[in-house]
Structure formats: C-alpha cells, structure tokens
C-alpha cells in the first residue's frame, strides 16, 4: 500500500465534501472500492464523489440495479453495489475492470470481488465511531506513490491542512 489517510467526518455532508475532494484527484481508469458496514456511508460518499466529477442530478443507491452510470468530467462514472451478488462470476460478468477504461469505477462492497475487479486504485473504508451517530472515520488508502502527495493535499485541504 502506497499511502493511507484517515479523516473524521462529523456529518453526511462532510463525507460528501471529502469525497468530492478525492474525486478532484481522480483520473480516468481509476477503480475505487468502498468498504464499510450497511449504513456506514458508502452511497453518501459516492454522492459527493460524483458531484466532484461534475455529475448533475441525484445519485442513488445501485443496490437493486447493481450498476448505475453517469456522464462525468472523466468520461463515465460507474457506480456499482455488489452487496447482492453471491458469485465472483457474476461480478466478472459486469466487466467493471474494462468499464474503468471509459472513466472511473466506484464499487460498494467491492472488497469481496477484488479478484474480478482488476487493479484497485483506492480503497475507502468508512466506519462509525464512538463520537456519535453522525461521526465517521473515512480512510483512503492505496494509490501509487506518485499520487500520494496530490491526494494528501486534496484531503488535507478539507481538514485545514495538517
């Protein structure tokens, strides 16, 4: 793992804002895996990430459709939710790794599907904390070393620099 950053977000909007900042550092071909329990804030993060890529209109959970696609600044944003898939073969059928060539792929519950995803650029883990109902810790890890500085700057900006 090249780098890892943790940021505390006290509200859903703070998580969206953080995600938008990460999106500003995204590149075509990136695959981002979102980890965290049900209700942690994966879809909320995806909403901010999409906004950061210039997606207009609502971004809703793809739990039942598996994949939603939005035109964005880098081509297509693919937002997938693999929660209901039981078999790696089903994930492979979605062809997410190939679709990343046309833009950026964001995958909720993607951790179990890593073998079918191809290289993952960033892993974002979202966890509740003891700080209260709306408090989360968002950890962004992975990337290659050439991009760590850029992403650190993007995420630090949100916390006022540290």
Ligand X SMILES: Nc1ncnc2c1ncn2[C@@H]1O[C@H](COP(=O)(O)OP(=O)(O)O)[C@@H](O)[C@H]1O
Three-point CA angle 65, 127, 11, nearest 5° = 85
Distance CA 46, CA 62 (A): 11
Q: Applying CB under 6 A, which part among 42-50, 51-59, 91-99, 150-158 lies near ligand X?
A: 42-50
| Sheet architecture: strand order including 75-81 | 3-9, 132-142, 122-129, 31-35, 103-108, 75-81, 67-72
What six digits make up the tokens of 31? 């695959």
Q: Residue 75 gets which letter from DSSP? A: E
| Among 20, 40, 82, 151, contact with ligand X (rule: CB under 6 A) | 40
Q: Applying CB under 6 A, which part among 22-30, 33-41, 117-125, 146-154 lies near ligand X?
A: 33-41
Residue number, nearest CB to ligand X: 41
Least distance in Å: CB of 140 to ligand X?
A: 14
Q: Please count the other Cβ atoms lying within 10 Å of the Cβ belonging to residue 53.
A: 23
Q: Which is nearer to ligand X, 66 or 148 (CB)?
A: 66
Contact positions vs ligand X (CB under 6 A): 9, 11-12, 14-15, 36, 38-44, 61, 108, 134, 136
Contact positions vs Mg ion (CB under 5 A): 42-43, 61, 108
């Amino acid at each position: 793992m090249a780098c890892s950053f943790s940021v505390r977000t006290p509200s859903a909007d703070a998580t969206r804002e953080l995600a938008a900042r990460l999106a500003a550092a995204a590149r075509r071909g990136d695959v981002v895996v979102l980890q965290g329990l049900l209700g942690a804030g994966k879809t909320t993060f995806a909403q901010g990430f999409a906004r950061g890529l210039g997606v207009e209109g609502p971004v809703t959970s793809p739990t039942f459709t598996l994949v939603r696609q939005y035109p964005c600044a880098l081509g297509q944003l693919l937002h997938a939710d693999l929660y209901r898939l039981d078999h790696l073969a089903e994930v492979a059928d979605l062809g997410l790794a190939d679709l990343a060539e046309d833009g950026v792929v964001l995958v909720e519950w993607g951790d179990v599907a890593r073998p079918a995803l191809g290289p993952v650029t960033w892993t974002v883990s979202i966890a509740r904390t003891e700080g209260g109902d709306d408090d989360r810790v968002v950890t962004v890890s992975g990337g290659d070393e050439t991009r760590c500085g850029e992403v650190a700057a993007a995420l630090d900006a949100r916390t006022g620099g540290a």
